[in-house]
Amino acid sequence: MADVPRHRALGLTDAQVLEMYRYMALARAVDERMWLLNRAGKVPFVISCQGQEAAQAGAGFALDRGRDWLCPYYRDLCLVLIWGHTARTELLAAFAKAEDPNSGGRQMPGHYGDRRLRILSGSSPVGTQIPHAVGIALAMKMRGEDAVCYVSFGEGTSNQGDFHEALNFAGVHKLPVIFFCENNKYAISVPERRQLACANVADRAQGYGFEGVIVDGMDALEVYRVVREAVDKARRGGGPTLIEAKTYRLSPHSSDDDDRSYRSREEVEEARRGDGIERMRQYLVSVGLLDEEAEERMRQTIRAEVDEATEYAERAPYAAPETLMHHVYAEEV
Amino acid sequence: MAVKLYIEAIHDALAEEMARDARVFVLGEDVGVRGGVFRVTQGLLERFGEARVIDTPLTESAIVGVAIGASAAGLIPVAEIQFADFILPAVNQIISEAAKMRYRSNNDWNCPMVIRAPYGGGVHGALYHSQSVEALFTHVPGLKVVTPATPADAAGLLRAAIRDPDPVLYFEHKKLYRSVRGEVAESDDPVPIGRAKVQREGDDITVITYGLGVHLALEAAGRLADDGISAHVLDLRTLRPLDEEAILEAARRTGKVLIVHEDNKVCGVGAEVSAMIAEHALFDLDAPIRRLAGPEVPAMGFAPTLEKAYMLSVDGVAEAMRALARF
Ligand SMILES: Cc1ncc(C[n+]2csc(CCOP(=O)(O)OP(=O)(O)O)c2C)c(N)n1
Ligand SMILES: [Mg+2]
């Protein structure tokens, strides 16, 4: 009996799993470009998704881009690319240009939002988006829609009151929410063991009456599998799930951080060897879906896309200063 | 016209808005089966069902946060905070999220939602069931803040708040719930947010106030009339945005302004009203602007002596009005 490749056993087509890989590589390329631009003094701030692409890709493909809702957090670059944003939109945000669909250059990069795509606008105080997702899910339930709401956050953020209030609310009302914790081992400089007295963030779900699932966040296909299960359950009226994807933040917290002050280079190098993008690449090669030539073609396309986006975004106009006063309230026309 | 208690006016307007628009729903602590600890939402569960009258867990930040999410997804939540004193755990959601949603998303998203909260003292509520917290929010662009004083305005402003595309904080004074009765029109017309109302016309002095203060000022004005002093009383009704035109007009009318509120004085609404008059109508004044407000203590005590010493009274307001008239 010939082995069915893992992705097919999970219900993903060859084209889909290749797309997944392409989004991960694209997210990494956009992220790296932002760092270059930051170091060149062209964009004042970068917050990174490096190391968390696989978790986001798995989750993104398990959701339905046509109906589900997102309340993402600042590291979800790969997720929002899957959801319809592009290198161009995110570079527009990095350069704080008026055409940025997230906020028109009002917010720092990484503060995603887009009504057209059902991505609710996020802010900087961590965890505030978690009850919003519960409210969206409540609306879905009240209207009898079968959409689910996905919300993500870091492990440090799972100590915020809003995390606990939101999970409890969703548990009591059995709402279709996917709580997705991207545990990257650090909250800026503070390691996980100084954030949590319990072993896993997922353990906290028990207190709220629903399932907590731990998944290897460097394995996009495994993340896809568990998120898919949670989504199916939520659509069937089975309520929320807390999923903890164990990942690692390969870059410093942000462009203003120096992570050498709190973790060793050896530790980071070790984590890099388990990078989810490389693991996906090896998988695709092993099942015969990718060879060097195809890989090189893909990388060239991505490079061209990121180059074009950078050029476009750099040249795009800023918001006019007179727009400062706009949109505090609905404009009276 | 029907004559209603202040609390009935709120209840009825809420029920009518829920009947009028299926997107409107209520959430909060004890709002369902119990009908609210003050009974504002009494009977709504039976009439509209538990999907639209939601007894939430005891969780203020989530009550507001969930309301924000639900409003983004197309519903119109009316969140009840059981006592205004307990709105503080939700302040991050109100100020960081609801107030900024439209601005930060460059007009892509908004929060059409209402947060109702009973406030104010004189009901033996002690420190944590008596506070006036409105000034914490009137500082914040992106929010609207209303404080109706009469049954008609309680109904009309609630309708306006529910129909407003931005977040509105609706503060209802607990002492007015069952002590004030008034005519409420049968029509479902809203009272526009941002418009003050002249509650009494007069020529000698102007009192600018809101909430319970309106009733104290009106009663005091009645007494002063017996002594031949004619007082003009302006009810702000909305604290953000302030009705600058009405405030300046009321100030110019008599040239003598007394601002009255139960909330403490420092950085209270009276400070802004007074600054507005000083900026735009200083040379129309015949006396320094005066403020009569709550004392600079953290909150009012439970002992009747302490509560009484904290609260404004008709006597106190009348005295301040007389002193200003004499100036
Ligand atoms: C309420 C609040 N406190 C502090 C901060 C500053 N801050 C930004 S990110 C961060 C760490 C978050 O860690 P975690 O939740 O693990 O997410 P990660 O950045 O590791 O993905 C902190 C302290 C903030 N944004 N909000
Ligand atoms: Mg972290």
- How many other CB atoms are found less than 10 A from the CB of residue A296? 10
Q: Hey, is A228 helix, strand or coil?
A: helix
Return mean pLDDT, chain A.
Answer: 97
Distance from CA of A273 to the nearest CA of B (A): 38
Over residues B87-97, the mean pLDDT reads: 98
Axis-axis angle for helices B269-281, B244-254 (nearest 10): 70
Full-prediction pTM beyond 0.90?
A: yes
Q: Does A135 lie at the interface with B, CB-CB under 8 angstroms? A: yes
Nearest-by-CA chain B residue for A326: B103
Enumerate the domain spans of chain B.
2-184, 197-326
Name which of A198, A158, A197 is nearest A181 in CA terms.
Answer: A158
pLDDT tens across A210-251, in order?
999 999 999 999 999 999 999 999 999 999 999 999 999 999
Distance from CA of B120 to the nearest CA of A (A): 27
Q: Ligand nearest A161 Cα, by number? A: 1
Average pLDDT of every residue of chain B: 98
Q: CB of A188 closer than 6 A to ligand 1?
A: yes
pLDDT in tens, B125-164: 999 999 999 999 999 999 999 999 999 999 999 999 999 9
Please confirm, yes or no, whether B280 is among the known catalytic residues: no
Residue B25 tokens, joined? 């729903």
- Asked if residue A329 belongs to a domain, the reply is no
Domain contains A331:
no
Mean pLDDT of A194-213: 97
ipTM of this complex: 0.97
Indicate the CATH number of B2-184 among 2.130.10.10, 3.40.50.970, 3.40.50.10240, 3.40.50.150: 3.40.50.970
Q: Identify whether the C-beta of residue B181 lies closer than 8 Å to the C-beta of residue B4.
A: yes
Q: DSSP string spanning A121-137?
A: ---SSTTTHHHHHHHHH
Quote the ligand 2 centre to A196 CA distance (angstroms).
11
CATH of B197-326, one of 3.40.50.920, 3.40.718.10, 3.20.20.150, 3.30.1490.190: 3.40.50.920
β-strand pairing of A186-187 with A149-154: unpaired
Q: What is the pLDDT of residues A260-296, one digit of tens each?
A: 999 999 999 999 999 999 999 999 999 999 999 999 9
Q: Does residue A2 have a pLDDT over 80?
A: no
| Burial status of residue A331 (CB atoms within 10 A of its CB: 0-12, 13-18, 19 or more) | exposed
Domain that holds residue A104: 6-323
Angle of helix A292-315 versus helix A87-94 axis, rounded to 10: 40
* Ligand 1 proximity of A126 Cβ (cutoff 6 Å): yes
Predicted local distance difference test score (pLDDT) of residue A331: 87
How many Å is the maximal CA-CA distance in chain B? Answer: 59
Does residue A244 belong to any structural domain of this protein? yes
Mean pLDDT of B223-245: 98
Q: Look up residue B233 and give its DSSP letter.
A: E
* Closest-approach residue (CA) in chain B for A125: B96
Q: Which residue in chain B has the smallest CA separation from A103? A: B105
Structure tokens at A22: 């392409």
Residues of B in contact with A169 (CB under 8 A): 56-57, 59, 62, 66
Other CB atoms within a 10 A radius of the CB of residue B227 amount to 9
Identify which of A107, A133, A168 has the shortest CB distance to residue B57.
Answer: A168
**Contact (Cβ atoms closer than 8 angstroms) between residue A251 and residue A32:** no
A 168-227 residues with CB < 8 A to B: 168-169, 172-173
> Is A328's CB within 8 Å of B51's CB?
no
With contact defined as beta carbons under 8 Å apart, do B41 and A103 qualify?
Answer: no
Band (pLDDT 50/70/90 cuts) for residue A333 is low
For B31: left if phi > 0, alpha if psi spans -120 to 50, otherwise beta; the answer is alpha
Within a domain: A1: no
| CA distances (Å), origin A89, targets A28, A42, A314, B205 | 15, 17, 12, 59
Q: How distant is the Cα of B84 from the closest Cα of chain A, in angstroms?
A: 19
For ligand 1, the distance from its centroid to the CA atom of residue B276, given in whole angstroms, is 40
| Number of domains into which chain A is organized | 1
- With CA atoms as reference, report the closest residue to A126 among A92, A103, A151: A151
Q: How many helices (H) and strands (E) does chain B have?
A: 12, 14
Using left for φ > 0, alpha for ψ between -120 and 50, and beta otherwise, residue B165 falls in alpha
Q: Do A166 and B65 touch (CB under 8 A)?
A: yes
Shortest Cα distance from B50 to chain A (angstroms)? 10
Report residue B90's pLDDT band, with 50, 70 and 90 as the boundaries: very high
The answer to whether residues A135 and B67 touch, using CB atoms and an 8 Å cutoff, is yes
Ligand 1 pocket mutation pick from A108, A126, A194 by most atoms within 8 angstroms of CB: A126
Token output for A326: 């706009």
Strands (E), chain B: 2-5, 24-28, 53-55, 76-80, 114-119, 144-146, 168-173, 181-184, 197-200, 205-209, 231-235, 238-240, 257-264, 290-294
Question: What's the pLDDT score for residue B272?
Answer: 98
Determine whether the interchain pair A136/B69 forms a contact, defined as Cβ–Cβ distance below 8 Å.
yes
CB contact under 8 A, B75 and A125: no
Q: Decide if A131 contacts B66 (C-beta within 8 A).
A: yes
| Average pLDDT of the residues in A171-194 | 98
A333 located within any domain: no
Is residue A257 in a domain?
Answer: yes
- pLDDT for residue B247 is more than 60: yes
Does an H or E element contain A18, and which?
Answer: helix A14-39
DSSP classification of residue A160: S
Task: List the residue whose alpha carbon is closest to atom 19 of ligand 1.
Answer: A187
Q: Is A245 in the pocket of ligand 1 (CB under 6 A)?
A: no
Q: Beta-strand (E) ranges in chain A?
A: 69-71, 149-154, 177-183, 186-187, 190-191, 211-216, 241-246
Other Cβ atoms less than 10 A from the Cβ of A108: the count is: 18
Distance CA B234, CA B246 (A): 8
Q: How far is the CA of B102 from the centre of ligand 2 (A)?
A: 28
Task: Say how far apart CA A192 and CA B188 lie, in whole Å.
Answer: 55
User: Of the bound ligands, which one is closest to the alpha carbon of residue A55?
Assistant: 1
For A172, name the nearest residue in chain B, comparing CA atoms only: B57
Beta carbons of B32 and B53 less than 8 angstroms apart? yes
Q: Which of A151, A188, A247 to mutate to test the pocket of ligand 1 (most atoms within 8 A of CB)?
A: A188
* Whether residue A1 has pLDDT greater than 50: no
| Rounded distance from Cα A261 to ligand 2 centre (Å) | 16
**B255-273 burial by CB neighbour count: b if 16+ within 10 A, else e?**
bbbbbbbbbbbeebbbebb
Query: Strands B231-235 and B205-209: what pairing?
Result: parallel
State yes or no: pLDDT of A332 exceeds 80: no
Residue A3 reports pLDDT greater than 90: no
Contact A161, B61 (CB under 8 A): yes
- What confidence tens digit (pLDDT) does each residue in B252-266 have? 999 999 999 999 999
CA distances in angstroms from A144 to A62, A140, A232, B250, listed in the order given: 21, 6, 15, 52
Which is it for strands A241-246 and A211-216: parallel, antiparallel or unpaired? parallel
Assess contact for A48 and A31: CB atoms under 8 A: yes
Which member of A104, A128, A329 has the closest CB to residue B93? A128
Residues of B in contact with A331 (CB under 8 A): 107
CA of B50 to the centre of ligand 1 (A): 37
The gap from C-alpha B188 to its chain's centroid, in whole angstroms, comes to: 20
**Which residue, A265, A262, A102, A106, is CA-closest to A188?**
A262
CB burial class (10 A; 0-12, 13-18, 19+) of residue A174? middle
Q: To the nearest 5 percent, what fractions of chain A are helix, strand and coil?
A: 50, 10, 40
User: What tokens were used for B64?
Assistant: 């507001």
Q: Which amino acid is at A53?
A: E
Cβ neighbours, 10 Å, residue A328: 16
We report the CATH number of the domain holding residue A216 as 3.40.50.970
